[in-house]
A and B are shown apart, each in its own frame.
Chain A
Amino acid sequence: EAQVTQNPRYLITVTGKKLTVTCSQNMNHEYMSWYRQDPGLGLRQIYYSMNVEVTDKGDVPEGYKVSRKEKRNFPLILESPSPNQTSLYFCASSLWPVIEQFFGPGTRLTVL
């Protein structure tokens, strides 16, 4: 089944404890992206990647890191999480950025 998977789906952590949210797609897509969704703010793009080793900042990259060492994986790293990073996070992928993005199920992150 073609899909985008994210893990974990839910995470409660404390300020400053490094964490990684994994994202994997099995569709051989070139473009991958991370978004955060907050009430009243919609979705905001954090980082995106055009291909292996090619990443670029979205609108809200501060406090986040990404890597694209393999085409299928695009992990989101929070080196020192803070409470303002409490949010719903989505990973998405598409064959090419100008066409339909397929979204993962979301990761609900709470930073205490």
Chain B
Amino acid sequence: AQTVTQSQPEMSVQEAETVTLSCTYDTSENNYYLFWYKQPPSRQMILVIRQEAYKQQNATENRFSVNFQKAAKSFSLKISDSQLGDTAMYFCAFMKHSSGTYKYIFGTGTRLKVLA
């Protein structure tokens, strides 16, 4: 069974600094997708970034980028120039795509606090 592990329950970072959130996953699949979602205090879930496993190039989205290490099954999120609005819970998610199955597995989340 697939699992997603976020080993950092809580993190904090100073405004304008860089922070990296870790995510590892376990799968025997070769075709899958990885996501980072953000949940601010409003509870609204928002997609931050997405990565296809077959793409070697790391995805980037403005201040957000990932370090995707397929062999190591690692998918970390780097937030550059952290802003107060980045304060949120961040969830790593895995979606496998095979045999007509489209299940999502989420990690337990990392609560990030950006300090002024």
A42 in contact with B108 (CB, 8 Å): yes
Known contacts A40-B108, A42-B109; A97/B102 CB under 8 A: yes
**Max count, chain A CB within 10 A of own CB: residue among B47, B102, B108:** B102
CA distance A31 to B108 in the complex (A): 23
B64 at the interface (CB under 8 A from A): no
B43 in contact with A48 (CB, 8 Å): no
Chain B residues, CB < 8 A from A98: 33, 52, 95, 97, 102
B44 in contact with A58 (CB, 8 Å): no
B104 in contact with A45 (CB, 8 Å): yes
A92 at the interface (CB under 8 A from B): yes
Interface string of A29-65 (1 = CB under 8 A from B): 0010101000011111100101000001011000000
Interface of B, helix, strand, loop or mixed by DSSP: strand
Which A2-54 residues sit within 8 Å CB-CB of chain B?
31, 33, 35, 40-45, 48, 50
Interface of A, helix, strand, loop or mixed by DSSP: strand
B47 in contact with A100 (CB, 8 Å): yes
Tell me how many residues of A have a C-beta within 8 Å of chain B: 25
A45 in contact with B105 (CB, 8 Å): yes
A29: min CB distance to chain B, Å? 13
A53: min CB distance to chain B, Å? 15
B104 in contact with A105 (CB, 8 Å): no
B105 in contact with A105 (CB, 8 Å): no
Which B86-115 residues sit within 8 Å CB-CB of chain A?
91, 93, 95, 97, 101-109
A40: min CB distance to chain B, Å? 6
B16 at the interface (CB under 8 A from A): no
Interface pairs (26), CB distance under 8 Å: A33-B104, A35-B104, A42-B106, A42-B109, A43-B91, A44-B106, A45-B103, A45-B106, A48-B102, A56-B101, A56-B103, A58-B104, A59-B103, A59-B105, A90-B45, A92-B45, A97-B95, A97-B97, A97-B102, A97-B104, A98-B95, A99-B50, A103-B44, A103-B45, A103-B46, A106-B43
8 extra A-B contacts, CB within 8 A, seeds A99-B50, A100-B50, A101-B45: A31-B102, A35-B106, A40-B108, A42-B109, A43-B106, A56-B101, A58-B104, A103-B45
